[in-house]
Structure formats: structure tokens, C-alpha cells
Amino acid sequence: MSRIALSAIMTFLVVCPLPAIDKTLYLGGSKLWGGIATWNGVESRPGYGGFRDIVLKDSQYEPDENTDLLLHLDSNPPADATGSYAVTSSSIGISDRYAAIGRGSGVFQGQAEGLVVEPLLPSALFAPGNQWHDFTIEFWMYPAGGDDATVLLWRNFRRLGSGLLPQELRCGISGGRFVWSFTNLFAPPDLGPFSAVLQGSGPVIPRQWHHYMLRFSAETGLIESSVDGSPDAITYANPTGSENGVVYLPITGGAQSSRLVVGAGFTGFLDELRVSRSFVSDPVVRRFGLEPGSAITRIFDLGYPDTQLSSVESRSETPGNTGVFYYLKMANIKTSEIDLPGDWIQFAPGRSLPDAKGRYLQIKIELLPDGAGRRSPAVSSVSVSYAPHLPPEAPALLTARPGDGSITLSWRKVIDPDLAGYRVYYGDRPSQYFGADASAGPSPIDVGNATTVTVSGLSNGKLYYFAVVAYNTTNPVQLSDFSNEVAARPSKLLETPP
């Protein structure tokens, strides 16, 4: 290559600096989701490519003051989340594929006793000798077929005079319908026998998840069964079977230890078994709530103010009527470590981006379920490309010409669309620009867009060192590196003697 051609290329690079190379910020995928700072109703689960997706969090129950028994059936061996009961026998498996809610469900294969639960605390409802008031029993069921099977079975004996009265609570599939039956659990004033049966109005549908619930009101005596939140059958715990009459309250006998058997002879999946000491009015009958969930990133520092995003790409799935919305905030200054100032700006990955810019970036991903609350979108990854808004190039070819009490400086113009001006630094030692002699004021001196300036008010014969910095229009401003350093002595002579 000729010297002329090389000189032309070097001149082009000085006069026309190359644009900044795009950088990319990755979330999800192989980078996982460590950049997420706030999880609101969402969580990460195994997903695309063997990594983790962001999905809506299941509406899984958490124990409260009214929870008597809670089996999530997410792990093996199962455990009561309240600590009031112990699982004393289990022959079931756990499936992470067919879950109604949560990470898994119990797999039952027709065992005589799939799961046995016994009370640990005297206050547990199924402990011997307790009188119940309001209560609710609920669970999710996915039967493999319509064969007769027992889902819940509890037995004991209550003393009646000198004899024993057998007690039983049973629910399950009988004759293709779901049936709840109570034998001598509800006690009349004379503690004599009393039975109640609630049979479902429709057939049990195999290979589908449905929510089954029974609840009792101690005030009215109402015993109500429901399927997927809709009432299916009712009766009353009194001799009339209607709203009129003395309410019979449940009493567990104390003649023997109590065992609650789950899934005796049942084939299929069970999930989220909960017993409450209350008349539950708002059961969870959807896998996901109808409100959106969101994941908000931490604040990312892009390094330079007024940086603009080049593109945002996302890998996601939106089955059914689910949806994913994306929002961003950008600012040059952050006022907190968790939230950038300003409103969220909505954008769509893969499309043109809003006119936002800043040094700091924050992204929000909002996930919306379908209308039935059964499906969730999934976000596998997000990639953000941006071109750093670099500071101006350093002024080049700085020269100094001494004059009487002054030094005239010149340098090559910096080509930058955001250039705002230059600052002249001076001092009496190399690289230490703390001068205060000049008529224009102490170092540095803002000289605007001039590329030739005379610094006056200097002392003749004193050696001064100079450097120039360019700055741009950002707020806060960005400064270039220092130019080359020059030194000169002011003199009464118009030219420096040889």
C-alpha cells in the first residue's frame, strides 16, 4: 500500500471515527435469569433448550390460621404443610407432567391404601374427640377412568351409652358419579345415628382435571358439594334436610386412633388436598389467577449516557389466549438501586423501539394467563442490543504558539454530531492542569466550538503546559480523553528565539 493511500486512510479515521460496535445484554437461556430482581406472581421452571422459562406462578395454597391439612403432593414422600399431620404410609408416585397446580401431583395406581395420614396434634380436626364447626375439604382429581374408587376415607367409633357407634367420612367415584357420604359424623343432640349423602348431578369425566369441594356451615347446617366452583349438590345436617331445624355439628369419636386414607383403589392423579376450619367462599379453581404477573430486571449500567437500544429480541410462547407484554425505562441518572425514574414505556420485541435513551436500563416482562386461568405464557430468553453512546474523540494535533503574556492554541476539529465544545486545561507542571493565571479564569477554560484560542493573562517566561478536551451535549456531559500535551513560554517577542 502506498504512503499516500495509508495517509488517506489515517486521515479518514481521525476525521470520521468509526461508529460504536453494538453490545448485547442477555437474559434467560444459557445466561439464566440472574438479571431479574423482582418476581411478582411469576417463577422460573424447566423450559426451552433445557434451561429455564419465566411462567406465571401457580395459585397454590399456603397454610393460614384456618388450614388444618395441606398436601401439595409435589414431592415424595408427601408432607403436610401445616405440620398437624404425619404421612405414615405412602405407596404413590409423583408426576411433574400431570399437575393441576404446582410442580407435581400424586400418582395413584389402584393401591388398597395409597396414602395414609394421621394427626400429630390434638387440635387437628381428624384427631379423636374433636367437635368441628365450619369446615371445607377440597382437592383436584384426574381419574384414569370411571371405575368405582375411594378418594378420601376416615373411620372411627363414637361412644353411645354402653356401645359404640361406627363413624365414616367417605368420598369418591360410585356408579360413575362423585359421591360424598357421612355416617354418624354429624351428631344430633342425643348423639344418636345420622347419615347424609351428596351425589353429583353429572358423571365423572375421565382424563380431565376438576376441582372437587365440600363445605359445611355450622350456622345454617348447609352441606354443599361443588365441582370447579359450581354447586353440585346440597343437603343440611339436621333431621329435616332443609334450612329449618337444629344444626348437627360434626364430632370425631375417641374410641380409636384416627387415620385418613387417601386414594384407596383410585387410579389417576390427585393434587392440592386441603382441609380448612372455615367455610371457604373463594376456592382456587384456576391454575393461575386472572391478574398478570411480572418480572422486573435490576438496573443495568450501559456505560455511557444517552445510549440508545438497537434492538430487543425475545423467545416466548403464548398458548391459547395468553400474552406477554414488554416495557422499558432508560435514564442517565439513577435515583435508587431498584427503580429508575419515569414511567414504563411499552415496546414489542423485533419491532422498532421507542425513542428512549440513557445510561441506565430496566426492563419489565408482564405475563397474562388465558381467560380460564388454565394456561400460562412462557418467556425463554430476552436479548438487548445497544450501541454505546461514546464520548467524543480526543482533539488531535494540538499546537502552541507563544505571544506576549499569552499562548495561542490550535487543534484539529472533532467530528461528532453531538459535539458541544472544548475545554482548555493548563498548569505549570506536566499533566497537572491546575493553573489560575489566565484572564479567562482558572483551568479548565470553556472555549465553545473554537478550534483556535488565545489564552491571555499569562506570565512571560513561565513555562505552561496545555491539553484540550472535547465534550458533547449529553446530561451529564461526556468528556473525551486529553489531547496531546504541549508546552510553551509566553514572551514579549512575537516569535520564540532560535
* DSSP result, 76-93: SS--BTTSSEEEEEE--E
d(CA 107, CA 92): 6
Would you say residue 13 has pLDDT above 90? Answer: no
Instruction: For residues 280-284, give the mean pLDDT.
Output: 93
Residue 19 banded pLDDT, cuts 50, 70, 90:
low
128 pLDDT tier (thresholds 50, 70, 90): very high
State pLDDT tens for residues 303-356.
999 999 999 999 999 999 999 999 999 999 999 999 999 999 999 999 999 988
Residue 163: pLDDT over 90: no
B/e letters for 98-128, b = 16+ CB within 10 Å, e = fewer, are ebbbbbbbbbbeebebbbbbbbeeeebbbbb
3-state secondary structure of 5: helix
* Domain 20-57+289-387 matches domain 67-276 at the CATH topology level: yes
Distance (Å, whole) CA 92 – CA 113? 9
Q: Is the pLDDT of residue 5 over 70?
A: no
Higher-pLDDT residue of 398, 497: 398
How far, in Å, CA of 368 to CA of 52, rounded?
18
Residue 11 has pLDDT above 60, yes or no: no
Query: Domain spanning 20-57+289-387: which CATH class is it, in words?
Result: mainly beta
- pLDDT tens digit string along 31-90? 999 999 999 999 999 999 999 999 999 998 999 999 999 999 999 889 999 999 999 999
pLDDT of residue 159: 87
Chain position carrying cell 361412644: 159
Q: How far apart are CA 366 and CA 39, in angstroms?
A: 10
What would the pLDDT profile of 453-462 be if each residue is shown by its tens digit?
999 999 999 9
Q: Is the pLDDT of residue 187 over 50?
A: yes
pTM beyond 0.85: no
Judged against a pLDDT cut of 80, whether residue 1 lies above it is answered with no
3-state class of 385 per DSSP?
A: strand
**Helix H or strand E segment including 430:** none
Domain 67-276 classified CATH 3.20.20.60?
no
Tens digits of residue pLDDT in 436-446 = 999 999 999 99
% of the chain beyond a pLDDT of 70: 95
C-alpha cell at 66: 384456618
Domain range summary for the chain, segments of one domain joined by + = 20-57+289-387, 67-276, 396-488
312's CB contacts (< 8 A; 6+ apart) are: 326, 328, 347, 349, 350, 353, 382, 383, 384, 385
The residues that bridge with 173 in the sheet, in sequence order, are 149, 178
Which CATH class name applies to 396-488?
Answer: mainly beta
pLDDT of residue 347: 96
> 171 and 279 in contact (C-beta within 8 Å)?
no
- Name the β-bridge partners of 141: 210, 270
> Looking at residues 409-424, what average pLDDT do you find?
94
Residue range 170-182: average pLDDT? 97
Q: Which three cell numbers stand for residue 494?
A: 512575537
Reported as a pLDDT band with limits 50, 70 and 90, residue 495 is low
Mean pLDDT across 264-292: 94
